[in-house]
Copies of this chain bind each other. A is one copy, B any other.
Amino acid sequence: MQLAAHPHQPDYSPRQNAVLDSALRLLVDGGEKALTTAGVARAANCSKESLYKWFGDRDGLLSAMIGYQASKVRTFDDNAEALTAVTLREHLVLFARDLLEVLAGDVSLALNRLAIGQASREGSKLGSMLQERGRRQVGKRAGALLEAGRNAGLLAFDDRDEAYDTLYGLIVSDLHLRMLLGEDSGRMAKDFGRRAERAVSAFLRLYGRENGSVQPKGGRKT
């Protein structure tokens, strides 16, 4: 497991991190509407003036919340040495389950809703921030995994991003959006295991070279 450093982002003091925690709690519980500056100040036992001194304005607070949360959700690089068909499959399934659980987390859902709500307003960088921090991070893990699989002769693809896009779609489909729209995420969380298995099986049938099933002769994709 390795920590991904993000030095281009201001780090906050423990006290400020605690405030950000309170703000996240507030956002998760009550949605964006409940996330008022006075509410954050009250919940965190700090003054509004301090909020504005630390984070500039409301948008700064939101950005800080996203950055803070992203700094907490760290993915490990499962070190993919000695990959076999079996261990590759295991790693992929594990990745899929982790991905689904991250996406279904209430903090993740709340932040995505927040960023989407701000996305209409031009110049709001929350969307790209979430995109950068979230997907890029988890995508790096998947990319390394895919690359390792290819190097081990277990996977066949030309474009790594394309392969990852396919994997992502197979795993998530429209589940993320449905959860964002309010569908009960807890109810469907128990199916994550089965869903991960299904998606990885399909992915290996598409991109796998020896998966115990049919193996396409040339690994052609088109």
Interface residues of A (CB under 8 A from B): 30-33, 110, 112-113, 115-117, 119-121, 124, 127-128, 130-131, 135, 162, 165-166, 168-174, 176-178, 180-183, 198-199, 201-202, 205-206, 213-214, 216-217, 220-222
Contact = CB atoms under 8 A, between A and B. Distances in A.
A61 B220 CA distance: 51
A33 B171 CA distance: 34
A183 B119 CA distance: 9
A216 B217 contact: no
> How many copies make up the complex?
2
Contacts of A180: 116, 119, 177
Contact of A166 (B130, B170, B182): B170
Nearest to A216: B214
Contacts of A113: 116-117, 119-120
